[in-house]
Amino acid sequence: MGPFDLSGRVAVVTGANTGIGQGIAVALAGAGADIAAVGRSPADETAAMVRALGRRCELISADLSSIAPVGEVVDTVVSRLGRLDILVNNAGIIRRDDALDFTEADWDAVIDTNLKSLFFLCQAAARHMVTWSSQDGDRAKIINIASMLTFQGGIRVPSYTASKSGVGGLTKLLANEWAAKGINVNAIAPGYIATNNTAALQGDETRNRQIVERIPEGRWGAPSDIGGAAVFLASRAADYVQGHILAVDGGWLAR
C-alpha cells in the first residue's frame, strides 16, 4: 500500500454536487476512498462518477445553513459506510455588496454556513474520530476549504472574507488541539478554478484576461487540481502536516 492509497477509508465531502466538491470527491474515490456526498443539492452525477471508479457513494441530504443536521450527518455516514476517516468541509456560499450597504441577513447567512456549520461539523466528526484514530498508526484527516481571501481582503464580500479568514484561524486551532488525538487538520485555499460558479468571470473577456495574466501558470485551475491536493492531505503522506493552509492557485499569491 502506497502513501497516497486511501483504500478502506471513508470520506465525507460537503457540497460535492458540482465544481470543487465534485473534483475532490472523485479524486478521493480514485485513490480508493468510499464517499459520502453531503449537501442540499442532489449529487447524482458525482455519485455516478464515484461508483464508476468502483467505490461506494452515499448521498446524504443536509442543509448546512444551520448546525441542526451535523450530528445526524455523522451518525448516518457511520451507519451506512461503517466509519468516518476523512472530512472535507467544502460547502459554502457568498453574498456580494458594498460594505456600506451590506445587510445583517447576508452577513449571518454566510457566516453560519461557511464558518459556524464548518466548526460544528468538525466537532461532530472529531468526536467519532477520536474513538479510533492512532490505532495501528491510522490518523483521521479533516480538510477545510479556505480561499485566496483567507490571505487577501477582496472587495464587496465582507462576510465571505471574514468567514474564510476564520476558516484559516480555526484550522490552526483545531490542529493544535487535535494533533495529539490522532487527527490532522489542514486547509486548501483554491485560486481561480474553472467551475459553473465562475462562469461569468470566465466569460468576461476583460476580467478573464486580467486574471490569467496575474496567474504565473497562465491558466485557470481545474477541480481536479484541488482534488490532487485533497488526496495528499487525506493520505498517510501528510501525517506530519498540521495546521497548514495549502494554496492551490497557480502561483497567484506569489505574484
- pTM comes to 0.97
CATH fourth-level superfamily of 10-249: NAD(P)-binding Rossmann-like Domain (3.40.50.720)
State the catalytic residue, choosing from 36, 92, 160, 163: 160
Residues ≥6 apart with Cβ < 8 Å to 169: none
Task: Measure the CA–CA gap between 227 and 237, rounded to whole angstroms.
Answer: 15
Task: Measure the CA–CA gap between 203 and 244, rounded to whole angstroms.
Answer: 33
Listed by start position, the domains of the chain span 10-249
Tell me whether residue 160 is one of the annotated catalytic residues: yes
The residues with which 27 forms a beta bridge, in sequence order, are none
Q: What's the average pLDDT block by block, 10 residues per block, for the chain (255 residues)?
A: 94 97 98 98 97 98 98 98 98 96 98 98 97 84 98 96 98 98 98 90 93 97 97 98 98 96
In three-state secondary structure terms, 126 is: helix
Q: According to the model, what pLDDT value does residue 201 have?
A: 86
- Residue 56 C-alpha cell reads as 461506494
Residues ≥6 apart with Cβ < 8 Å to 14: 21, 38, 39, 62, 64, 88, 89, 90, 91, 121
Q: According to the model, what pLDDT value does residue 134 have?
A: 72
Task: Measure the CA–CA gap between 78 and 178, rounded to whole angstroms.
Answer: 20
